[in-house]
Amino acid sequence: MGIAVFVFIFLYVQSELRYDKHWSGSENIYRITTDYRVSENSEQIALTPFLLAEKIQNNFPEEVEYSTKIFFSDPSDVNDMSSLIYNDEVYEVPDITIGDSNVFRVFDYYFVEGNKDLSLTKPNTMVISTQVAEMIFGDEMALGKKLKTHIREYTITGVFEKRCKPSHLSFDAIVSVNSLTEKNIELLNSDWFWMNCYTYVKLKPETNYHDFENALNDFSGREIKKFVEKAKININGYTDYSLEKISNVHFNKVLLYDNPGNTDKIYLIVFAIIAGFILLTASINYINLATARSLKRAKEIGVLKVLGAVRYQLSLQYISESLILTTLAFVIALSLVELLMPQFNHLVGKDLTLVGSLFSQGGIIFGSLLVLLIFVLSIISGIFPAFVLSYLKPVNVLKGNKMIVGKGGNQQYSAGRLRKFLVTIQYIVTIGMIISTIIIYQQMMFLKKHDLGFKPENVMVINLPQDTTFNDRASEFIYELSGEESVEQVTLAGNAPGYTAGKRMFFTDDSSKIMSLNYFMVGQNYFKLLEIPLVEGRFFPEFDAKDSTVYYIINQAAADTLKMDTLIGHSLKTTFGLDGKIIGVVRNFHFSSFYKNIEPLVIAFSGKRARYALVRVKGGQHDVALAHINNVWNKYNRNQYLHYTYLDEKLTSLYNSDYKMLSLFTYFSIFVIFISSLGLYGLSSFLIEQRTKELGIRKILGGTANNILLLLVKDYLKLVLLAGIIASPLVYILMSKWLSMFAISIEISTWYFVLGILSALIIAFTTVFIRVYKVINKRPSLALSYE
Amino acid sequence: MVITEGLTKVFKAEGVETIALRGVSLKVERGDFITVMGPSGCGKTTLLNLLGLIDEPSAGKYYFFGQDVYSMNERQKTELRKRNIGFVFQNFNLIDDLTVYENIELPLVYLGWKKKERKERVEEVVGNMKLSHKKRLFPAQLSGGQQQRVAVARAIIAKPPLILADEPTGNLDSIHGEEVMNILGNLNKEGTTIIMVTHSQSDAAFSRKIVHLFDGQIINENITKV
């Protein structure tokens, strides 16, 4: 089982490390990220301007093979293109984006249908994954078929295979960038500060990426300067581009607007350590039992030696026995892995296969590693009895002298210390896992219970269509939604907490002091619905078409940043022409995840345009409300899916990787506890059996059941305590690092360590007690006759 | 001091019953030195185990200083045993991981003596047994005779009124055997009651009474000394 769990963790870690390594020439593929500094604000974002890819392609022909752009899309947040219509049937494809014709030149997906080089060159073309093709067209060819969204029709020009290629790119369908209107493209192509695309470059093999990075920044510096002068923007800042190796993208957790599925490498390191320890623990159990069993085999060795066996023959015998056993264990373990793979995949949210790993890139390494492991384990497990026991003098063995005793006597070696050392290591891992699990659990509970500054319960977030025809009817839609008893409140919103938000440039009086602040657009009822209290001033007034004033409400963090004596009524200017005035300050609320502190936020009123409708439903009446919402939706949006999320679920999903970590830690902890208890039980069984006679003597001399229990258990408990002392600082360092990822976190309390060590003590005590109990109740006369 | 009435012990193994003792009735007075003799398998050790409360009889009664022992619970029996009975075995039964000193001290630990009192008493007995220079050694570092002296020292450390000795010289040469028998003889002279199992006629000569067992029954009792 130890081997099985090791293989599981290995497969998981391996699949994570394989991210984006399978593209041909992946060592030359880079993502361009932006370091965006305005005044004192600095931000690192994964996005770049739309025009960058084309500028690179045209201006760096010597250095760059291809550059490409893929539009930003949040896979957890559907967009307008998500509902695809074929033969009047609507299919939902949430992860759909826009890209240029170089996408498949940089990322060489395998094309099942179509020509990858030509697939995205024409307007209104779309390339889909095999999964989407199967979903919509079944066994039919997809190429040339037409798919509609509610505003446009696309021709399928390619079908790509996505499975078994782990990548940070997750799209299931991609639309050609030429499908955008010319006006839109012109607008996008003219702005160096509008960050909305991921840009990738495939450098020529001879290009030094560092030189290219410098050249790119020189070039963009000049271009931005021209742009700023032309647009007459007064910005005191600069934009710096960096190249990020494609295989590192999956492990980047620091950039804004990056893939939420990215993983912190620390998890992989922790899992690799756990895997190593689990294997070590299993090996320790085997070694421990082997040494304990060797006592029983000492006589056999004596006889063999008398019969003429020499040391190397005995050593060979032990190592081969161990080899057979370990190989058998591996075969059973691999069968177990194959059997439990679906459950494991469900747990980690992956699509791993053992065969897939063996026959994939690096599969040979995996296979060789398994074989190497068999040998290493066999040798480690077999080496003790092989080398140490074969040293025994046959005369002592045959006389029945004790071969392994703790102190004194005529023993030829002592295995006591080795065993104690091995048991201590096991318990360091066990206690470390228990304490870590407690801390992770406490932190996740802390986040769950932490006051967000608003009430996310029973709030549905409905994704709205982004076309102008709907915008005109949005207020009507909202009004109809509210006409049902199960619906408490409704509001339009451009942004919702937990969803991606944008930043804008603001300044107050001095136009040279520009600040990049988070920017929300919300409807009339937003604060009331989310129960965000006002600290100062007032909420937005009723929508009045005649009033052209732009009103802003800011949060307390923004109020602190603006550093003004009188905020209310003060003007707040922007670089994009929406100068307005501050009319209120609301209490800080966590509009982003707990990974970040609450940042300054400026909230503008949006009367018509909205990305979402927020609906607060009466508790316990979700079904009634949903039926009503569906009816209203279908009335306004034929042929479109109703995409909705519960706000609290969306917020919880921000910590999916942490919850995954918690469940993995819990399972691994239980497993490590189980495996080390098994080891301790086996070991104590052997050792107690060794001491049966001594225990009899002690009982005869007046030792009570409690005396005997204490005698047998205290040795193990001392080891567990020692393990706890060693494990605690290690866990403290590791968990402090993990907690530092969060802007708000629990204090690591001494109690977690006490609880962890105490649990381990209780588990160890119970394990040994179960075994000792049998001995305590044995008649001493039986013990004396035991040899 | 010790009275048994119809002590019977039947061993059952894999459905086969073996009767080790058949209704043994014995009376031992305080200060007695009794030897139990008989051929191998006649039930000598079984009788000693029953008298030492380290085994349960199948039937019969056992009175120790007038108390009905078999009506006691395990804790009471342990209490009675550790305060009143010392054991000497043929194969010494010392604990290998403990030093000579620790082996001798052990009954006092279980009696709850304080460390200082234990030290004084152990030093006294170790001196009497001429083991002072060996007290830091482990049993495996001693000769058979020395080991048995340690076992005797351990048996008498708590000054029990009764010592049960099972073939105490069985594993010793004649010189060491005699040495151990002299110690037991002297203890008896000082008032300790001794019940000894042996095959050796010369060892039996140290006792006052010889009980002959055959097939689990007492066939006769001889008084050797008055």
ipTM: 0.88
Kindly indicate the confidence band of residue A54, based on its pLDDT and cuts at 50, 70 and 90: very high
pLDDT at A408: 41
Convert the pLDDT of each residue in A343-360 to its tens digit. 888 888 788 887 777 766
- Measuring CA to CA, which residue among A761, A763, A746, A768 is closest to residue A684? A768
Q: What is the mean pLDDT of residues A719-747?
A: 91
At residue A412, the pLDDT reads 39
Query: What backbone phi and psi angles, to 5 degrees, belong to A422?
Result: -65, -40
**Residue A131, CB half-sphere, CA atoms under 13 Å: how many?**
12
Q: In this structure, are strands A601-605 and A515-522 parallel, antiparallel, or unpaired?
A: parallel
A157 contacts A143 by C-beta, under 8 angstroms: yes
Tell me whether residues B138 and A780 touch, CB distance under 8 A: no
Is the separation of the CB atoms in A565 and A509 below 8 Å? no
Distance CA A474, CA A497 (A): 21
In chain A, the percentage of residues whose pLDDT exceeds 70 is 89
- Which of the four pLDDT bands, split at 50, 70 and 90, describes residue A113? very high
B102 close to A (CB below 8 A) = no
Whether A765 shows a pLDDT value over 70: the answer reads yes
Average pLDDT, chain A: 83
Which of A407-416, A603-612, B81-90 has the largest mean confidence?
B81-90
Work out the average pLDDT over B21-36.
92
pLDDT of residue A403: 45
pLDDT higher than threshold 80 for residue A297: no
Which residues are within 8 A (CB) of A543 and not within 5 positions of it... i.e. 6 or more apart? A524, A605, A607
- Nearest-CA distance B185 → chain A (Å): 22
Distance from CA of B91 to the nearest CA of A (A): 10
Please indicate if any CB of chain B lies within 8 Å of the CB of A448: no
* Mutation for B interface: A692, A700, A776, most B CBs within 10 A: A700
Q: Which residues contact B45 (CB under 8 A, 6 or more apart)?
A: B166, B197
pLDDT computed for residue A164 by the predictor: 67
pLDDT at residue A405, as a whole number: 40
Upper half-sphere CA count for residue A225 (Cβ side, 13 Å): 6
Please tell me if residue A13 touches chain B, with a CB cutoff of 8 Å. no
Q: Please list every residue in chain B whose beta carbon sits closer than 8 Å to the beta carbon of residue A704.
A: 75, 78, 110
Mean pLDDT, rounded, for B164-188: 88
In contact, B115 and B145? CB cutoff 8 Å: no
Contact B178, B145 (CB under 8 A): no
Judged against a pLDDT cut of 70, whether residue A272 lies above it is answered with yes
**pLDDT value, residue B225:** 61
Check whether A404 has a pLDDT greater than 50.
Answer: no
Q: At what angle do helices A750-776 and A705-739 cross, to 10 degrees?
A: 150
Q: Is the pLDDT of residue A414 over 60?
A: no
pLDDT surpassing 60 at residue B103: yes
| pLDDT at residue A74, as a whole number | 62
**Strand pairing category for A571-574 and B85-89:** unpaired
d(CA B140, CA A402): 9
Q: Contact A240/A217 with Cβ under 8 angstroms?
A: yes
Look at B87 and A700 and tell me if their CB atoms are within 8 Å: yes
Distance of alpha carbon A693 from alpha carbon A153, whole angstroms: 87
pLDDT in tens, A578-609: 788 899 999 999 988 888 888 899 999 887 77
Least confident interval from A77-86, A109-118, B33-42, B183-192? A77-86
Backbone angles phi, psi at A483, to 5 degrees: -85, 50
Closest Cα in chain A, distance from residue B50 (Å): 9
Distance from the B81 Cα atom to the nearest Cα atom in chain A, whole angstroms = 7
CB B7 within 8 A of CB B60: yes
Mean pLDDT on A53-72: 93
pLDDT over 60 at A396, yes or no: no
Q: Which of B81, B93, B150 to mutate to test the interface with A (most CBs of A within 10 A)?
A: B93
Q: What is the mean predicted confidence (pLDDT) over A81-105?
A: 86
Of A405, A700, A703, the CB nearest to B54: A700
CB burial class (10 A; 0-12, 13-18, 19+) of residue A731?
buried
* Residue B6 tokens, joined: 């119809």
Predicted confidence at residue A676, as pLDDT, reads 81
Residues of chain B with C-beta less than 8 angstroms from the C-beta of A699: 54, 78
| pLDDT at residue A236, as a whole number | 63
Q: What's the rounded Cα separation, in Å, for the pair A235 and A125? A: 39
Residue B93 contacts by C-beta under 8 Å, 6 or more apart in sequence?
A693, A697, A700, A784, B87, B151
Any chain B CB within 8 A of the CB of A703? Answer: yes
State mean pLDDT over A517-529.
Answer: 90
**pLDDT value for A787:** 47
Closest in B89, B111, B137 to A702, CB measured: B111
Whether A541 has a pLDDT exceeding 80, the answer reads yes
Which region among A115-129, A528-542, A670-684 has the lowest average model confidence (pLDDT)? A670-684
- A410 neighbourhood in chain B, CB within 8 Å: 140-141
Q: What percent of chain A has pLDDT over 90?
A: 31
Kindly state whether B70 is in contact with chain A, defined as any CB-CB distance less than 8 angstroms. no
Contact B99 A693 (CB under 8 A): no
Q: What is the 3-state secondary structure (H, E, C) of chain B?
A: CEEEEEEEEEEEECCEEEEEEEEEEEEECCCCEEEEECCCCCCHHHHHHHHCCCCCCCEEEEEECCEEHHHCCHHHHHHHHHHHEEEEECCCCCCCCCCHHHHHHHHHHHHCCCHHHHHHHHHHHHHHCCCHHHCCCCHHHCCHHHHHHHHHHHHHCCCCCEEEEECCCCCCCHHHHHHHHHHHHHHHHCCCEEEEECCCHHHHCCCCEEEEEECCEEEEEEECCC
- pLDDT of residue A656 exceeding 90, the answer is no
B107 and A702 within 8 Å at the Cβ level: the answer is yes
SS (H, E, C) A687-726: HHHHCHHHHHHHHHCCCCHHHHHHHHHHHHHHHHHHHHHH
Of residues B157 and A265, more confidently modeled: B157
pLDDT of residue A677: 83
Query: What mean pLDDT is predicted for residues A297-326?
Result: 77
pLDDT at B226 over 70: no
A504: burial class by Cβ within 10 Å (0-12, 13-18, 19+)?
middle
Of A67-81, A322-336, A733-747, B100-114, least confident by mean pLDDT is: A67-81
Q: Which residues pair with A648 in a beta bridge?
A: none
The fraction of chain B above a pLDDT of 90, given in percent, is 41
